Amino acid sequence: MKSFRLSVENIVCRFCVSPFLFLYAISSVGCSYYSTSEGMIGGIRTLTIPVAESFTAEFAVAERLSERATELYMEDGRLRIVDQDGAEAVLYLTVLGISDEPFTYSSSEQTEQYRFSLVINGKIVHASSEKRILKAFDSIEGWATYSA
């Protein structure tokens, strides 16, 4: 039976022949799992956002919500916004409620600020199968104040 003498010199010498191959092998271990996707739900890369549905009389708010959502997704850049024919997914938004009420008053009981609030829900569905919901969110409320 042949015995092998294992030493640091023998190990290093074996890898001296191709140091670049050795460095490549060592460095690629840390990168063994790599994905080019941005980690979006369902692996989607393209999205379309139709005009939001509104259960209120303020239809301009629903249109502006859709426009602003499109602008924000374009600024973010992780998903490409395309027309409905070329999209892998669709973001449906629904305006459930709008309120614009007095928020703060002066000592003479005059309104100084108003609070505008908007309640929406939405869902992201796969474009090829409208029944396949990728993500749904219900009753998200956002609000802001403004001076009278």
Cα angle at 104 between 103 and 107, to 5 degrees? 155
* 135's tokens: 């993500």
* 20's tokens: 């670049």
Cα angle at 141 between 137 and 144, to 5 degrees? 145
DSSP class per residue in 6-55: --HHHHHHHHHS-HHHHHHHHHHHTTSS---S---GGG--EEE-PPPEES
What is the per-residue pLDDT across 55-111, written as a single tens digit (0 to 9) for each? 999 989 999 999 999 999 999 999 999 998 899 999 999 999 999 999 999 999 999
| Structural element, H or E, at residue 67 | helix 59-76
**Its pTM surpasses 0.75:** no
Q: How far is CA 4 from CA 8, 12, 15, 17, 113, in A?
A: 13, 15, 17, 20, 85
d(CA 35, CA 78) in angstroms, rounded, equals 14
Fold of 41-147: Rossmann fold (3.40.50)
What is the per-residue pLDDT across 111-120, written as a single tens digit (0 to 9) for each? 999 999 999 9
